[in-house]
Amino acid sequence: MKNYFGILSYTQSISYQLGIGENLDAFILKNNSRIMFWKNKMGLRKWFEKNRNFIWINNPQAKFDIEALNSYNNIFLNNISIFMTGCNSSLIPFLKINKFEIMKTGKEAILNLDYAHFRNKSLKEIIRIGFKHGNIIEVPYSDKIRDKLEEFKSECTHSNEPQLKYLYNDILLPSNRLFVFESENGAWLGAITVRIMDKEKVITDLILRSKMATKGTMEALIYSIFGKIKQEGFISWSLGEVPYIIYDSPKLSKEFLINFTGRRLKFAYNYLGLYNFKNKFEPEWQEIYTCGKPKLNLTTFVKAASFSNMTTLVRSKFFYNLYSSGKAFRNNEIKRKPVNSDYSKVS
């Protein structure tokens, strides 16, 4: 078998995302989801892949019935590693039976639509302030709106940093629903895209906040979406995953090392800020797993970090912080430097 790397990312077209559709072989699993393979050409990828072929499947429960993999066992044989991220507890029994190694790597924030998630007085006040500056609207899908959302990303916080890939659906699809916080003059201050998983559950894909957004913008947006989908009869809404917030792993286990290392990278990926934002809505935190077959190893995580752009983000933030620290130090030294004044020459 040739040496190939593959990614199955959310529901979007992988060929669109990667721009290399003409080089791909596709296996249709369900609902037009695909596992994509392409031959390694770059030196780093070749080094990673020289001993084992690799397939990365992110958030598998959002794409197909995991048992559909049984029909594709021929894909997963012959010296191929499978790496699954974003697995929820519904998949774990099947994966254990099929001899996957499993570790906890994060938690998902679930809102029960019958629960009073907005009862906190301070949260109510923040929402009230948010509504002073605009209105929440649902925007129907169109190519024009899709392009406008792409433009809006450049106006959002962290837009000048390297962006993560494959870990979530980062484009607007016809199957998405888009909710926008619009200011009185028509400017977008915040946007959230969601997908309907089934007749009971809605999940979040994108949460975008403009650099010009005022206090309470995103809280008001979440409050409005919550009320809307509750009226439509849904039961739960996932605000998405927060990685690295697993603290009960056996010391020095692989699970411990992955979560511990992730928390040390807070300067690049602020998992704690993400957790604090989602936790203010008092969600139920459900464990999220990373699973691998035949084994999970640190090389696989480094490989995924490379392809997801995490290593680029860490490197960029590290050197930016280093530069900023050096600049602040130099400025401080200049302020502390004594002025050489010769008062004896003053008449």
Query: Percent of the chain at pLDDT above 70?
Result: 72
Can you give the residue ranges of every domain in the chain?
4-107+244-273+286-321, 115-234
Predicted model pTM: 0.79
Pair 63, 29: CB distance under 8 Å = yes
**Average pLDDT score, the chain:** 79
- pLDDT at residue 13 in the model: 32
**Range with lowest mean pLDDT among 58-72, 135-149, 180-194:** 58-72
Does residue 188 surpass a pLDDT of 60? yes
pLDDT in tens, 258-304: 999 999 999 999 999 999 999 999 999 999 999 988 889 888 888 88
- Residue type, position 234, single letter: F
Two tokens, residue 269: 């990926």
- pLDDT at residue 83 in the model: 83
> Who wins on pLDDT, 34 or 183?
183
Query: SS3 sequence, the chain?
Result: CCCEEEEECCCCCHHHHHCCHHHCEEEECCCCCEEEEEECCCHHHHHHHCCCEEEEEECHHHCCCHHHHHHHCCCCCCCEEEEEEEECHHHHHHHHHCCCEEEEEEEEEEEECCCCCCCCHHHHHHHHHHHCCEEEEEECCCHHHHHHHHHHHCCECCCCCCCCCCCCCCCCCCCCEEEEEEECCCCEEEEEEEEECCCCEEEEEEEEEECCCCCCHHHHHHHHHHHHHHHCCCCEEEEEEEECCCCCCCCCCHHHHHHHHHHHCCCCCCHHHHHHHHHCCCCEEEEEEEEEECCCCHHHHHHHHHHCCHHHHHHHHHHHHHHHHHHHHHHHHHHHCCCCCCHHHCC
Question: CA-CA distances (angstroms) from residue 30 to 64, 69, 130, 271, 327?
Answer: 6, 10, 41, 32, 53
- pLDDT at residue 333 in the model: 57
Q: What's the residue count for the chain?
A: 347
Of 121, 171, 66, nearest to 282 by C-alpha is 121
Highest mean pLDDT (candidates 4-8, 185-189, 291-295, 296-300): 185-189
For tokens 């915040």, name the residue.
Answer: 190
pLDDT in tens, 191-236: 999 999 889 999 999 999 999 999 999 999 999 999 999 999 999 9
- Residue type, position 54, single letter: F
CATH fold of the domain at 115-234: Aminopeptidase (3.40.630)
Q: Once rounded to an integer, what is the mean pLDDT over residues 61-88?
A: 62
Q: How far apart are CA 83 and CA 296, in angstroms?
A: 8
